[in-house]
Amino acid sequence: MFRTISDIKDKLYRKLGVWPPPALSGMQLGPDGSAQNPMMLQFFTWESKHENMSWWKHFEQEIPRLAELGFTQIWLPPPNKAMKKGGQGYDAYDLWDIGEFDQKDTIATRWGTKDELLQACAVARQHGIGVVIDAVLNHKLGADRCEAFSAVPVDPTNRLKDLGKERQIQGWTVFDFPGRKGKHSSFVWTQEHFTGLDWDHQSRTNGVFRITGNGHRGWSKWVDKELGNYDYLLGVDIDHRHPRVRQDLFSWGSWILDTTGGSGFRLDAIKHMDRRFLLEFIKRSREHPDRRRLFSVAEYWSANLQLILPYVQAFQGQTAFFDVPLHENFFRASKAGSGYDLRTIFDNTLVNVRPGDAVTFVDNHELQVGQSLESWVDTNFKLQAYALILLRKDGYPCVFYGDLYPNQECYNETVSRQLQQLLIARKIFAYGPTRDYVENSNCIGFVRAGNSLYPGCAVVVSNATRSSLENLVQYIRMNVGLEHGGATYFSYLETGSQKQEVEIDVDGWGLFPCFMNEVQIFIKDVGVVVEVN
């Protein structure tokens, strides 16, 4: 069997237990030459829609403020035409239509027109902000025509188990893109370019059907083993082994980056895609001299770190991964209240084991109440969670639009106001090595030592409740450094508690108050004042 160099590397990494270099260190996360902490924002919720303008125009107008808050990259929703007029883009119809052609009863996507997108991307670049493209490469929906072909029904809970014999079905698998008329790409998709689907139009039945017949090779084996084989997720599943499919998707990757000036990709649903294809997709996207440090983050959705780590090895340092196990810890902490031991908050997380591969986050569009992966971090622990990803050294943090901007789905004004203060604190204080102080189960602290350009800070985090404390305040003894001996540190965040001062002794030690269920940042310079809109 023919093996590529990537296949050989993958096998060696797994067999020898050798780890690839950390992904984030090879990527551009912010402007060249900047010493500022990089940070990403997911600029949408599931139902995002601006009442007065397109989403792309809204993004363009917010860019100056986002730069002030310290964001260096913005993850945008999928720019492609969806299967229906109001589709978010995860119901991908045509990747090559980014609001340019009259298809699916609209020229604009849910988010706006191509011209509006390109204008917003140009303004972002002018402000030193990179744009991350959400690449939905696993499936297609909203076909233009139906066709007949052979298929086998399989067990939805075990895709390797057939439920019947091969038979002829009809499926919506022909994508002509009549509104685009071959512009950008002349490729027409038919059943030969897919592995499976969930609807037989002939018998009007749902199920999971593996497409068979001439040229079909079944499910890819280079996918996650959940449900026996997790190649199929939804819609009509793309066969990433087909030469014409591969060429079209590789071409799209270069085209979308050239067209938008994008700084990288967020790769959707990677556990369902042939990982050899994805690895080549990333590498080919970086072939252009200006894209050697292209950003890439993959969504492998599992709270089990042991399932994520083999993928980290398999991708050979070419992509970072969202730290889903850390989100799960945040979610559990928010549900358990003071019953959660904060000393374990980083246990079994990617940022703890492979910090150079971890994109940390608190919540996203799929975790909102009512969504498919609902596991929303409640307001009682939201600020604590953000402090733990924004103010520490390890990982690359991603903030959620729904926590920052007013919206009808998940907004909390107090969370938003204090989150903005945390963002500014990351931008101007949170630098240098991290020293942890974790003696107490309900109150932990850490110190950022600072560097020659930025001063550093001390941070305390509490999940204590009135019933778990005899007093409303606990204290953590932390050392801010011998060079700060004799100084006074002042509380920075505007919380429900009164302003605090901490006297540092000659050896650099101070006793920092940790108020019930709050976050607080202590800084040496009381003269720093930041207005939050």
Strand partners, 474: 514
d(CA 108, CA 112): 5
**394 is a catalytic site residue:** no
Single out the residue in 199, 214, 238 at which a domain terminates.
238
**483 is a catalytic site residue:** no
Instruction: Give the Å distances, CA to CA, from 169 to 83, 156, 165, 189, 494.
Output: 22, 18, 12, 17, 63
Tell me if 289 is assigned to some domain: no
> Exposed e or buried b for every residue in 50-67, given b needs 16+ CB within 10 A?
eeeebbbbbbbebbeebe
Q: State residue 10's pLDDT score.
A: 53
The model carries a pTM of: 0.94
Contacts of residue 308, Cβ cutoff 8 Å, sequence gap at least 6 = 300, 302, 321, 324, 325, 350
Tell me if 341 is assigned to some domain: no
Continuous H helices in 362-412: 379-390, 401-404
Helix 379-390 with 413-428: angle, nearest 10 deg: 10
Single out the residue in 219, 238, 257 at which a domain terminates.
238
- Among 418, 305, 318, 301, which Cα is nearest to 364's? 301
- Among 49, 10, 8, which Cα is nearest to 275's? 10
- What ranges make up the beta strands (E) of 68-115? 73-75, 81-82, 92-94
Tell me if 186 is assigned to some domain: yes
DSSP structure class, residue 369: T
DSSP secondary structure, 31-48, as one string: -TT--SPP-EEE---TT-
Q: State residue 505's pLDDT score.
A: 97
DSSP structure class, residue 18: P
> Helix count (H) and strand count (E) of the chain?
11, 25
CATH number, domain with residue 160: 2.40.30.140
Contacts of residue 473, Cβ cutoff 8 Å, sequence gap at least 6 = 513, 514, 515, 516
CATH number, domain with residue 503: 2.60.40.1180
Tell me if 228 is assigned to some domain: yes
DSSP secondary structure, 396-408, as one string: EEEEEHHHHS--T
Amino acid at 160: L
d(CA 285, CA 456): 37
Instruction: Compute how many other C-beta atoms are within 10 angstroms of the C-beta atom of residue 85.
Output: 13
DSSP structure class, residue 127: T
Which one is catalytic: 268, 274, 280, 518? 268
Q: State residue 528's pLDDT score.
A: 54
DSSP structure class, residue 466: G
Contacts of residue 273, Cβ cutoff 8 Å, sequence gap at least 6 = 137, 138, 220, 223, 231, 238, 240
> Exposed e or buried b for every residue in 131-167, given b needs 16+ CB within 10 A?
bbbbbbbbbbbbbbeeeebbbbbbeeeebeeeeeeee
Which one is catalytic: 47, 176, 192, 299? 299
Amino acid at 518: E
d(CA 310, CA 10): 10
Amino acid at 397: P
Handedness of CA 117, 121, 127, 128 (dihedral sign): positive
> What are φ and ψ of residue 355, in 5° steps?
-60, -30
Q: Are 139 and 235 in contact (CB under 8 A)?
A: yes
User: Given the structure tokens 């493209």, which residue do they identify?
Assistant: 133
Domain that holds residue 450: 434-523
Tell me if 128 is assigned to some domain: no
Residue 43's Cα: distance from chain center in Å?
11
d(CA 278, CA 269): 11
- Among 390, 394, 132, which Cα is nearest to 268's? 132
Instruction: Give the Å distances, CA to CA, from 489 to 414, 478, 503.
Output: 25, 12, 6
Q: State residue 494's pLDDT score.
A: 83
- Among 121, 123, 129, 135, which Cα is nearest to 39's? 129
Q: How many domains does the chain have?
A: 2
Q: Are 135 and 79 in contact (CB under 8 A)?
A: no
Tell me if 64 is assigned to some domain: no
- Among 274, 333, 269, which Cα is nearest to 301's? 269
Tell me if 111 is assigned to some domain: no
Contacts of residue 279, Cβ cutoff 8 Å, sequence gap at least 6 = 6, 314, 315, 316, 318
Amino acid at 209: F
Strand partners, 92: 82
Q: State residue 1's pLDDT score.
A: 34
Single out the residue in 188, 204, 238 at which a domain terminates.
238
d(CA 276, CA 1): 15
Tell me if 194 is assigned to some domain: yes
What's the CA dihedral at 465, 467, 469, 472 to 10 degrees?
Answer: 60
Q: How do the pLDDT tens digits run along the chain, 533 residues long?
A: 334 555 555 555 555 568 999 999 999 999 999 999 999 999 999 999 999 999 999 999 999 999 999 999 999 999 999 999 999 999 999 999 999 999 999 999 999 999 999 999 999 999 999 999 999 999 999 999 999 999 999 999 999 999 999 999 999 999 999 999 999 999 999 999 999 999 999 999 999 999 999 999 999 999 999 999 999 999 999 999 999 999 999 999 999 999 999 999 999 999 999 999 999 999 999 999 999 999 999 999 999 999 999 999 999 999 999 999 999 999 999 999 999 999 999 999 999 999 999 999 999 998 788 877 888 999 999 999 999 999 999 999 999 999 999 999 999 999 999 999 999 999 999 999 999 999 899 999 999 999 999 989 999 999 998 765 666 788 999 999 999 999 999 999 987 667 899 999 999 999 999 889 999 999 997 455 455 55
